[in-house]
Amino acid sequence: MNTHNIINFLREKGLKVTSQRLAICSFILSRKDHPTAEQIFQELRDEYPTISLGTIYKTLHLLKDLRLIQELGFNNGSIRYDPDMELHVNMICSKCGKIYDYKTKNVKNLWDAILSELNVKPVGQRIDVYYECDDCKNINST
């Protein structure tokens, strides 16, 4: 979703297009690494020195309500934001916390099979695989 699309989307919803809002939306909608609110705040401060953490949170909640992003709560209490709303597997390093998304036709087929067995119509899902990433593996083996 590019800047133009975001502007149109906000306007359609009757929301004002502020520079902060645009920056936060562009940022999170393009990121693949599931950042926290604090991380977004820190990265945007360079370009928007007066931006407030409260605005980050408000915008993230807005995007969540508009179903453009999802929140992922973790067991250390942190909440990370994921702009991929489609079915996918979050590959999470149990050591460093890095995440990447994994999505193939096979995952979808297998997931549909589980759902038909469960016999429910889900309104959402979350699939995490915790593993040790290559970087962390290499550190351990040195």
Partner DNA sequence: TTACTATTTGATAATGGTTATTAATGAATC
Partner DNA sequence: GATTCATTAATAACCATTATCAAATAGTAA
Binding site for its own copies (CB under 8 A): 70-79, 89, 91, 94, 102, 104, 106-107, 110-111, 113-115, 117-118, 120-132
Q: Distance between CA atoms of 84 and 94, rounded to whole angstroms? A: 21
Q: How many residues bind DNA (CB under 7 A)?
A: 26
Nearest to its own copies of 8, 129 (CB atom):
129
CB neighbour class for 93 (10 Å; exposed up to 12, middle 13-18, buried from 19): middle
Q: Does 17 bind DNA (CB under 7 A)?
A: yes
Q: How far is the CB of 58 from DNA (least distance, A)?
A: 5
- 38 and 53 Cβ atoms separated by less than 8 Å: yes
Q: How many residues bind Mn ion (CB under 5 A)?
A: 4
Report CA torsion sign: 96, 43, 35, 78. positive
Nearest to its own copies of 27, 81 (CB atom):
81
